[in-house]
Every structure is written in C-alpha cells, then in structure tokens.
Structure 1
Amino acid sequence: MIKILMIEDDVELAEILSEFLSQHGIEVVNCDEPYTGISAATTQQYDLLLLDLTLPNLDGLEVCKRISKQKDIPIIISSARNDLNDKVEALECGADDYIPKPYDPKELLARIQSLLRRYNKKPAQERGLPNKNNLFRIDHDAREVYMQNRKLELTRAEYEILTLLISKKGYVFSRESIAIESESINPESSNKSIDVIIGRLRSKIEQDPKKPKHIISVRGVGYKLEF
C-alpha cells in the first residue's frame, strides 16, 4: 500500500482527502503542525509528501526546503496561494509539483500516481543508490556520504556542504550561499570558517589536499565540485 504524509492544518480537508485516497489504496498520515510534520518526514518512511504552504508557526516553503534537504521524497505542494512567485520558489525549494486549491480529489490522485511513476523511473544515482559511474553516493535517510563505497566520516556541517556541492556538480557556490544553504552554519559566519570546513573536507576526499582535484577554489567567488 502507498503511504503518504500530509502536512495540512485544515483538519476537515485532511479527513476528506484521507478518506478519498484510502479508497484507492493510499494510506494518509496527517500532521497539522509543521514541526511535527518535519520530524515525521525525516525520521519515518513515506512514499510521498503532500504539503500545504499556509501553516501555523512556520511557512510551508521553509518546511519544503528543510525536508527536501534531509530526505529524498517526492513532494506535491497543495495551496490556495496562487502567486507565481510562490510556485516558482516552491519548485526551487525541492517540490516536484504544485496543485492550487480548490481542486477535485480525483486530480490530486492522478498527480500522486503520475509523480510516483516518474519518481520510480529515476536513475539509481538520482535516488542516492549505488552507481558505478558515480564517485559519490549519498544516503539521505542515514545522512551519510560514500566515496567509491567508502563511508566518509563527516560532521553535520561537512555533510551539508559536501552534499550541496554534489547536488550541482561544476556549479560555483559563493561562501555566502554555502553558509545560507547549510542549516548548521550561521549565515553570518565569516568566510574563514567556510574555508576551514572546506579544508577538512579536502583532507577526507583528496589524494593531495594541497592540490585538490575535486573541491576546486574559484578565485574571488567560492568553490565548486568536479569529478
């Protein structure tokens, strides 16, 4: 049976959708509070996340960003906020689909089924599974990174920075963007602190940390990953 997590503070709507989806072989677990939802999404196994944007205490876009950084799970945004900027930002934060409220539950069912079909066809390396052509493998559930099947012993900050660099191979990240994207790093951290973490990462993945071939410095900008 398909099991999805819903983060929706409209309890009546959640009950209606849960009852409808259960008739089509989909079990729904709803959290009406964002922090409870984040905890459930990142510590338990679900096939898909259905997320509202207008939530108490924490905006749904931030919820989407936090979950997508920690968990490899398909995400559908379900929201009455129809502003184009919200849609764009939701997709940039890790959402896979956006369905505006109100909608027919039949349309939601079709989108869930379509997304799960696409997701299950993703190449192995995109799901964090082993691939002989990939130097790195990320296990999002365990928050671990493997290099040529060797588990890297990483601090939380090192894990966040390395997976960020891996996510966009060849893309140059500024030190400022690295700090912003890493939850365990203060966005106001000095460039020096980022450089220190990069130095530690190089010592763990480079044959010669003084002549790095993977984490490359881009003068005046930041860092990129090559492999």
Structure 2
Amino acid sequence: MIKVLVVEDDAQLVRALRINLEARKFGVETTAEGNTATRLAVMRRPDVVLLDLGLPDMDGIDVIREVRKTSSVPILVLSARHTSEEKIRALDAGADDYVTKPFSMDELLARLRAAVRRREAPAPSEEPALIETADFTVDLVAKKVRRSDRTVRLTPTEWHILEILITNPGRLISQTKLLLDVWGPTYSEHTNYLRVYMAQLRRKLEADPSHPRYLITEPGMGYRFEG
C-alpha cells in the first residue's frame, strides 16, 4: 500500500483528500503542523507527502528543507500561493511538484501517481549499471550518486532528470522532452522548472556550477550530459 502523508490545516480539504485517497487504496496519515510533519516523515517513511505551505506553526518551505535533510520522499506542494516566485522557492527547497489551489482531485491524483512512478521507475537495463566521471559516480541500479567519497542526496525529480541525461551521453535532450518525461503534458511550457532543477543538480555535482563541465545547457534548445 502506498502511504501518503497529508500536511494541511484546512479540515474540509483534509477530509476530501482522505476520502479520495483511501477510496483508491492509499494509506493516509494527516497532520496540520509542520513540526509534526518533519517527525512523521522520518518515523513513518511515507511514499509521498502532500504539503500545504500556509501552516499554523511554520512555513511549508521550511518543512521541505527539514524533510530534505533526511529524506528524498516525493513532496507535492498544495498551495494558494500562485506566483512563479513562490513556485520556484518551493522547487528550489526540494519540492517535486506544485499544485495551485483550487485544484481538481483528478489532476492531483494524476500528479501523485506520477511522483510515485518517478520514485519507483527502474533504471534502463540496457545501459551500464555504473557511470563514472572524474568528479562523481552514478549507480543506476542502486539509484545512488557519490562525490568525493560521500553520497549525494537527490530528490526523485532530480534523479529522474539526471538519469535521462546521463543515459544519453552527448545527446541533446530538448526542454519539451524533459518536461513531458518528468512532469507530463500539462508542464510542456514550464521551462522555469528545468532551470531550477538543473541549477540544483549542478550545485550538487559540478566542481564549478557556474561553469558546468557535465550538465550542459544549449540555450533555447535543451540539455545534454558530457561524460
């Protein structure tokens, strides 16, 4: 059973989410507080977190940062904050998706399922299991990245993007293809998502993120991995 942690202080929305999720055989645990959510993310090990940003005890962005210190669980933000700046802040903090309120339950469930698929998707069997560069090593089977003898923690979305690029060395992957493969057709124009995530990957993997050696941008076209 897929376990979902709902972090939301709107009791009516929590009730609707619980009814819809449990009807589809998801396990559901809820809390209205960010501090409790950070503890539950460690103790209960949910498969997905649905997170409101406007919590009574702490900002949801801070919840994302705290969870990301110990977990790569997919985090889907549910928020009435609809500006691009707020979305980028959430994604930059480590969120995997951002759903603006009000939303349709069908859309939310589709994005939730996509997040689970990204987390569970197996590495392509025809590709080498281990890809090594001078600065980091990627294990496609274990889904682990190591740099300077330490493990680099990636979110499921960061991993999905890296996996697509690294299994197609030297090949230009268009912005549209990355958006479709990682987020789905409703995100085909959200190129700002890619900018945020590529910046995060470079900070984690490149020796000089401002002058990347491996994760290359082709302006207006897409991205490629140079081994």
Taking the aligned partners of 2:106 and 2:145, their CA distance within structure 1 comes to 40
1:134-213 → structure 2 map (5 Å cutoff): 135-137=149-151, 168-172=204-208
Q: Could you list the per-position Cα deviations for residues 189-211 of structure 1 after superposition, in whole angstroms to 9, with x for gaps in the alignment?
A: xxxxxxxxxxxxxxxxxxxxxxx
Cα separation, 1, equivalents of 2:201 and 2:145: 19
What letter corresponds to residue 120 of structure 2 in structure 1?
N
- Rounded to whole Å, the distance in 2 between the matches of 1:86 and 1:131 is 29
Task: Note the alpha carbon deviations across 1:77-100, whole angstroms, 9 max, x for none.
Answer: 000111111100100110110000
- Per-residue deviation, 1:66: 1.1
- Distance 1:131-1:81 versus aligned 2 partners, 3 A rule: closer
Task: Kindly indicate whether the alpha-carbon contact (under 8 Å) linking 1:129 and 1:138 is maintained by their aligned counterparts in 2.
Answer: no
Residue by residue over 1:31-87, the C-alpha shift from the partner in whole angstroms, topping out at 9 and shown as x without a partner, is: 111101111012221100100001112101111111122211011000011111110
The higher relative CO (CA closer than 8 Å, separation ≥ 6) is in 2
CA–CA distance in structure 2, aligned partners of residues 17 and 32 of structure 1: 13
* Contact 1:128/1:139 (8 A) holds in 2: no
What is residue 15 of structure 1 aligned with on the other side?
A: 15
Q: Which structure has the greater CA radius of gyration?
A: 1
Say whether 1:51 aligns with 2:87: no
User: Does the C-alpha gap of structure 1 residues 122 and 63 become closer, same or farther in structure 2, counting only changes over 3 Å?
Assistant: farther
Residue 66, structure 1, aligned to residue 66, structure 2:
yes
User: Against the structure 1 CA distance between its residues 122 and 97, is the aligned structure 2 distance closer, same or farther, given a 3 Å change threshold?
Assistant: farther
> How big is the alpha-carbon RMSD for the aligned residues of Structure 1 and Structure 2?
3.2
Q: Distance in 1 between matches of 2:41 and 2:143?
A: 23
How far apart, CA to CA, are the structure 2 residues paired with 1:97 and 1:132? 22
- Structure 1: distance between partners of 2:106 and 2:85: 26
Change (3 A) 1:165 1:74: closer
Unaligned runs of 5+ in 1: 141-163, 174-227
Q: Secondary structure at the match of 2:69?
A: helix
CA 1:91–1:122: 2 relative to 1, 3 Å: farther
Q: Give the equivalent residue in structure 2 for 1:114.
A: 114
- What letter matches 1:82 in structure 2? H
Aligned with 2:205: secondary structure?
coil
**Under a length normalisation based on structure 1, what TM-score does the superposition of the two structures give?**
0.58
Cα gap change, 1:127 to 1:49, in 2 (>3 Å): farther
What pairs with 1:73-92 in structure 2 (closer than 5 Å)? Answer: 73-92=73-92
- Of all paired residues, the percent bearing the same amino acid is 33
Letter in 1 for 2:25: G
Shift in alpha-carbon separation, 1:105–1:127, aligned structure 2, 3 A:
farther
| 8 Å CA contact retained: 2:145, 2:151 | no
| Cα deviation code 1:140-185 (max 9, x no counterpart) | 9xxxxxxxxxxxxxxxxxxxxxxx9997123459xxxxxxxxxxxx
1:26 equivalent in structure 2: 26
